[in-house]
Amino acid sequence: MKKYLAAFMALAMAATALTGCGGGDSAGGDDSNKTYKVAYIARAQSDSFAAWLANEMVAAADKYDDIELKVFDGQADDAKENAAIENAIANGYDAIIVQPNNGEAQRPYVEKIVQAGLVAITTNSRIEGIEGASSVDADPYNQAQVNAELALTQVPENAKVVVLKGPSGNFHADQRRIAWQEVFFDQRPDVQIVGEDFANWNKDEAMALMEDWTTAHGKIDAVISMNDNMAAGALEVVKGNPTYKDMLVYGVDGTAEACLLIQDGSMTSTCLQSAIDLAALNLDTVHKLLTGEETQIDTDIEEVLITADNVDEYVEMYKKNGQITE
């Protein structure tokens, strides 16, 4: 039976917000009865991983009786994301969690959160070096490394490959590309990069680039993508074309879509960046900071390589949480 991805991206959050756990503010007095207002500034709901993470943040917040979480959509636009941060500061949130679109563009606005005396957390990806801010993330170098090590044994000699990059200046995008260079390309000088460009985590942008590359270069042996969404876009362009039936495709995030593509043999591997784990760790972190249990936290989730050998267990995981339906 054909599998379909559940419509988990339908969040409808432009300039509005999703409420994760109700309750409202308590009127002063004993902090044990306080409801903490937490704003989560999501990068962009058009990005499948960002949408998944936003959903999981809401679900994780629902487990805390003293946290009210609202999610705001940055729409992959630095100006809109920065405005959302400023609005959250002005509107009396106790903590603001920021998923940067471009870390350096958001840096001064996260610094404003700290200056306002609020709890500041950066996540997916962290912005390093902000005194007074905490972070919850994954190690993007390691995420790419596990894929690159696999590719060393799989990519054929003298292969033609293309590289899909995330946004310039994004910590995850940059670190994943560095890992691919050091672990794979430096060890495989026979491999020719025939196309490399920024697709900014976006499926449509990846499709446009892949269309150009297939027209210009014909057969491509491997697609090296810094995330699953762009990898899926590249695959959409060559779907059903026998010229590309053996093309290798590598990604990061371990999204439901990527797992189905690995299961049906279209995609080679991905590294799980569990939005479930990331959201749970974010809420645990913000709660500890708000209640004074900790004053500074910088922590990472683990990375797991997903291939045809173990993909079935992750497909089952997504079936159980409703992101894949039959």
* pLDDT band for position 200 (cuts 50, 70, 90): very high
44, exposed or middle or buried, with CB in 10 Å at 0-12, 13-18, 19+? buried
pLDDT 10s digits, 148-193:
999 999 999 999 999 999 998 888 999 999 999 999 999 999 999 9
Q: Which of 67, 61, 96 shows the shortest CA–CA distance to 280? A: 61
How is residue 37 written in tokens?
Answer: 């207002």
Is 258 part of any domain?
Answer: yes
Which percentage of the chain shows pLDDT scores above 90?
Answer: 83
183 plus 230 within the same structural domain: yes
Q: What is the pLDDT of residue 45?
A: 82
Residue at 315 is within a domain: no
**pLDDT per residue as tens digits for the range 47-94:** 888 998 999 999 999 999 999 999 999 999 999 999 999 999 999 999
Residue 80 lies in a domain: yes
The answer to whether residue 323 sits within a structural domain is no
> Domains in the chain: how many in total?
2
Q: Are residues 48 and 100 in the same domain?
A: yes
When the pLDDT of each residue in the chain is averaged and rounded to a whole number, the result is 90
What would the pLDDT profile of 118-149 be if each residue is shown by its tens digit? 999 999 989 999 999 999 999 999 999 999 99
173 and 96 fall within a common domain: no
User: How many residues belong to the chain?
Assistant: 326
In Å, what is the CA distance from 137 to each residue of 89, 164, 202, 208? Answer: 23, 22, 20, 30
Asked if pLDDT for residue 103 goes beyond 90, the answer is no
Reduced to 3 states (helix: H, G, I; strand: E, B; else coil), residue 277 is helix
Q: Are residues 23 and 98 in the same domain?
A: yes
Question: Does residue 144 share a domain with residue 132?
Answer: no
Q: Which tens digit of pLDDT belongs to each residue from 15-60?
A: 334 444 433 443 334 566 789 999 999 998 888 889 989 999 999 9
For β-strands 67-73 and 18-19, DSSP reports them as antiparallel
Residue 222 maps to a domain: yes
H-helix segments, the chain:
48-61, 78-90, 103-115, 140-154, 171-180, 203-217, 228-238, 256-263, 275-290, 311-320
Q: For position 211, what pLDDT does the model report? A: 98
307-325: average pLDDT: 94
Does residue 214 fall inside a structural domain?
Answer: yes
Tokens in use for 158? 């003298």
Task: Assess whether 283 and 255 both reside in one domain.
Answer: no
284 and 232 share one domain: no
Claim to verify: residue 265 and residue 151 sit in the same structural domain:
yes
Could you tell me the end-to-end alpha-carbon distance of the chain, in angstroms, rounded to an integer? 7
Task: State whether 239 and 204 are in the same domain.
Answer: yes
Alpha-carbon distance of 196 to 223, in angstroms, equals 10
Asked whether the predicted pLDDT for residue 322 surpasses 80, the reply is yes
Confirm whether 246 is domain-assigned.
Answer: yes
Q: What is the pLDDT of residue 32?
A: 63
Handedness of CA 287, 289, 290, 292 (dihedral sign): positive
Reference 143, options 323, 260, 300, 321; nearest CA is 300
Whole-number Å distance between alpha carbons of 129 and 122: 11
Token representation of residue 316: 């089952």
* Crossing angle (nearest 10°) for helices 228-238 and 203-217: 50
Tokens of 257: 């879509």
**Do the bridges between strand 134-137 and strand 67-73 make them parallel or antiparallel, or are there none, so unpaired?**
unpaired
**One domain for residues 65 and 176:** no
Per-residue pLDDT at 30: 52
What is the phi/psi pair of residue 256, to 5°? -60, -45
As given in the structure block, the two tokens for residue 94 are 């106790």
User: CATH number of the domain that 157 lies in?
Assistant: 3.40.50.2300
d(CA 21, CA 67): 6
Looking at the fold, whether 168 and 132 belong to one and the same domain comes out as: no
Q: How far apart are the C-alpha atoms of 102 and 114, rounded to whole Å?
A: 18
- Domain span at residue 236 reads 140-272
Burial class from Cβ neighbours inside 10 Å (0-12, 13-18, 19+) for residue 148 reads buried
Q: Could you report the per-residue pLDDT of 254-308, keeping only the tens digit for each? A: 999 999 999 999 999 999 999 999 999 999 999 999 999 999 999 999 999 999 9
Decide if 101 is inside a domain.
yes
Whether residues 230 and 281 fall in one domain: no
CA 309 to chain centroid? 23
Q: Rounded to 10 degrees, what is the CA torsion of 286, 141, 306, 148?
A: 170
